[in-house]
Structure 1
Amino acid sequence: MKRSSFLRLSLAIGSLFSFSLKNVYAGTKNKYDRGKGFKVDAGKDRFNKSISPFDGDIFYTKVSTADTDGGMYVFESTRIKEGGPILHTHYDTDEWWYVLQGEFLIKVGDQTYNAKAGDFVFGPRMVPHTFAKVGQGEAKVIIAHQPAGKMEEYFKKISEGVAKNMSEAERDNMRKEHGFEKVGPPLTYLKQ
């Protein structure tokens, strides 16, 4: 191949590659301006549309999966009822909890932590974990999934009642489709 032909071919391939990367990136951008930050007020949702996936629980999105192109999902959970989710494990996401108000028991692997306002607990991916609100009154916890995986999508579907009439096997499949699975019952604790 002549040098001039090689250079033209190289430039053409480079231009095509650059064009393709721009289009791929443009397809993953969310509708929010990447050049700006944002503020979400206390007790408010990022989109002014809180969800209630579980009875006695309200989720306020603080950082949406779309805000970070899947990098993380952060929400505040305001809980009235005692208890919490099943023991489960995420395939590809780490999860953490920062207690704002009230008291929680948070189990990660074989360790159970008593977490109160100001306490932080980390749960690495593939390690079984769960938590439970304990005590009377309202409790609040910031929960994050990093990377986000499909947890925000899962909570929205649950809030919309998608799983309401599902069998346990169908619920298990739905969990797996969203990147996690049930590995045991909810955390039990003794009331004082």
Structure 2
Amino acid sequence: MKRSTFLKLGAVMGALFSIPFNLIAKLSARSGDEKGFKVEAGKDRAGKSISPFEGDVFYTKVSAKDTDGGMFVFESTRIKEGGPILHTHYETDEWWYVLQGEFLIRVGETTYTAKAGDLVFGPRMVPHTFAKIGKGEARVMIAHQPAGKMEEYFRKLSEGVARNMTEEERNELRKAHGFEKVGPPITYLKQ
């Protein structure tokens, strides 16, 4: 057998041999704590809530790190009416489960009125947004699956990264985190 053929065969065998070990390592890293975990009401998974938007507090319940990027779940407590711009996620489905208060949630061309106990699903690549409506505090559980880079994006906003950015720079920041602006926030008549 020629030396070059022997070296190629050795490289192929090494790669094949490493596959089970790489898979085991990845699965072990993903499972983390085999007992699972509990995040109490009004608490954050890491013990530190964030505020990416004025009048809004996010409590991470399941971090992307917990699921090897499989999902990101957070509770949003909102005082201020309104919500984010109309946007599209490239590779992430999103859902909203209302815990308290009332929200308008637009997915594609349909706008739903959602109250406590209601869930709305928004598939990836479909424009969507939502808005808290009415007075008082409202709470909604939001999930991204897979997690994408949304958790990182919200942390950056909470740290003030976008505070002095131009709209073009904000658009680039969004795209770098897997989504883009496609329209304005929901408009509605305040009661």
TM-score (norm 2): 0.89
Distance 1:135 1:183 in 2: 25
The answer as to whether partners of 2:70 and 2:147 remain within 8 angstroms in 1 is yes
Superposed displacement of residue 35, structure 1: 1.5
Matched, 1:100 2:99: yes
The aligned amino acid for 1:137 is G
Tell me, yes or no, if structure 1 residue 123 matches structure 2 residue 122: yes
Letter in 2 for 1:119: D
Does the 8 Å contact 1:87/1:182 carry over to 2?
A: yes
What is the total number of aligned residue pairs between the two structures?
Answer: 184
Aligned residue in 1 for 2:35:
36
From the superposition, tell whether residues 111 and 67 of structure 1 become closer, same or farther in structure 2 (CA, over 3 Å): same
TM-score normalised to structure 1 length: 0.88
C-alpha offsets along residues 27-52 of structure 1, whole Å, 9 cap, x if unaligned?
A: 78659724221000000000101000
Matched, 1:57 2:56: yes
Match of residue 110 from structure 1: 109
Letter in 1 for 2:153: Y
Kindly report the root-mean-square deviation, in angstroms, between the aligned alpha carbons of the 2 structures. 2.2
* Structure 1 unaligned residues grouped into runs of 5+: none
Correspondences of 1:180-191 after superposition (within 5 Å): 180-191=179-190
Aligned residue runs from structure 1 range 6-25, under 5 A: 13=13, 16-19=15-18, 22-23=21-22
**Structure 1 runs of 4+ off > 3 angstroms?**
15-21, 23-32
AA in 2 matched with 1:71: G
Report percent identity of matched pairs: 73
Q: Confirm or deny: 8 A CA contact 2:104 2:113 kept in the other structure.
A: yes
> Paired residue for 1:177?
176
